[in-house]
Amino acid sequence: MKKAVVFGAGNIGRGFLGQIFFEAGYEITFIEAMPAVVTNLNQKKAYPLWVVSEKGTEKFEISRVQAVPAEDKEAAARTLKDADISATAVGVNNLPRIYPLIACGIEKRFRSKTEAPLNIIICENLLSAGKVFRTEIKKSLSPEFHPYFDEKVGLVETVVSRMVPPVPIELKEKEPLLVLVEPYKILPVARTGFKGELPEISGFHPVENISAYEEQKLYIHNLGHAVCAYLGYLKGYQYIREAVADSEISHRLTGCLNETGSALVKKHPFLQPELPDHIADLRHRFANKALGDTVWRVGREPLRKLGPSDRLVGALRLCRDYGVEPENLIFTIASALCYNYKEDEEAAILAKMISENGPGYVLQEVCKIKPEEPIYNAIIEKYNKLSKQC
């Protein structure tokens, strides 16, 4: 049987990669850092995956699975030596822990004279992920193995858009391995990243320009989610679905997506035919009541999301670069400055920064927007009106 090795048995590892590899007929080994997850996977050799939507819940069992502790470098390398395909979904902060494991597995493949290529599907929120992986893995790999690595190992960038909501505590207590997911199951993969033939895996969507799809994910999907979260918070909503159903927020959401969509197709014209359907599908997915997604989860870490290249300010810059007036984006950024949810550490820091230094300080220090830019005063003006609702 074909073998897949997945680094990370979390939401995307089990909730996305595990499903598509299982359905493609692979036996799956997870390399996982949490001992309890490793123990449960090895005891049960399966886990439940529920696809939730307005139509109801479809319950699946993902079987042919096992797990290896991430700290067992030798065992992890052995599984990678025999793998037909691999993937990572550990989170950017945990990547330094897996580079040496991958390097050790590559060395074992070389020593065992394995000629078949190994493609590693990178499901991380990391720009230029392929280049980063190649550089970092080589640091842990003796130079004598570099030619083999370059020739035989494909590093495939992706754009992960499947939404995986938290499992309610009462369900988690009954079944610790349960994963809830939305029906959406498409994974754009960089065609040029593969070595050898592309694997036949339902859900893989090979594309030539993966960076365009990364921008589409950030400035359409992630931006749209942020609009719902920050505007929904101002109106006192708990769930994203409530925000989507609000006529005023829906109007602002349409405005933001039209603004960034117009800029995106100017930069990447080939996106034009599919973008309207993609946006319509996203709005439908955001309104999925079964996900139970909250404005606090989606709006969390506002300082990161207000960064100069992230979903809000990055989208605004994109619009200005391509001659699109970002009226609704300005309104959304001003709304984000009002996000003062007390249970969110970054939101508390944001509120303190504004209280002590004013909103202009955040625009300059966090967003990197200069006072002489027209958008600076436009955001401040909107914030001054909205802050009365904070």
* Residue 170 pLDDT level (bands cut at 50, 70, 90): very high
- Which helix or strand (DSSP H or E) is residue 96 part of? helix 95-111
pLDDT digit string, tens, across residues 181-236:
999 999 999 999 999 999 999 999 999 999 999 999 999 999 999 999 999 999 99
* Residue 172 pLDDT level (bands cut at 50, 70, 90): very high
Burial class (CB in 10 A: 0-12, 13-18, 19+), 115: exposed
Exposure string of 162-171, with b = 16+ CB inside 10 Å and e = fewer, is bbbbebeeee
**Residue 240 contacts residue 295 (beta carbons within 8 Å):** yes
pLDDT digit string, tens, across residues 173-192:
999 999 999 999 999 999 99
| SS3 readout for 63-91 | ECEEEEECCCHHHHHHHHHCCCEEEECCC
Which tokens hold the place of 186? 């498409």
Average pLDDT value for the chain = 96
Is the pLDDT at 165 greater than 90, yes or no? no
Long-range CB contacts (< 8 A, 24+ apart) of 283-286? 283/224, 283/244, 283/253, 285/163, 285/182, 285/184, 286/224, 286/225, 286/228, 286/240, 286/241, 286/244
Burial class (CB in 10 A: 0-12, 13-18, 19+), 370: exposed
Burial class (CB in 10 A: 0-12, 13-18, 19+), 374: exposed
Q: Does pTM top 0.85 for this prediction? A: yes
Q: Which domains does the chain have, with CATH numbers?
A: 3-208 (3.40.50.720), 211-389 (1.10.1040.10)
Distance CA 302, CA 266 (A): 28
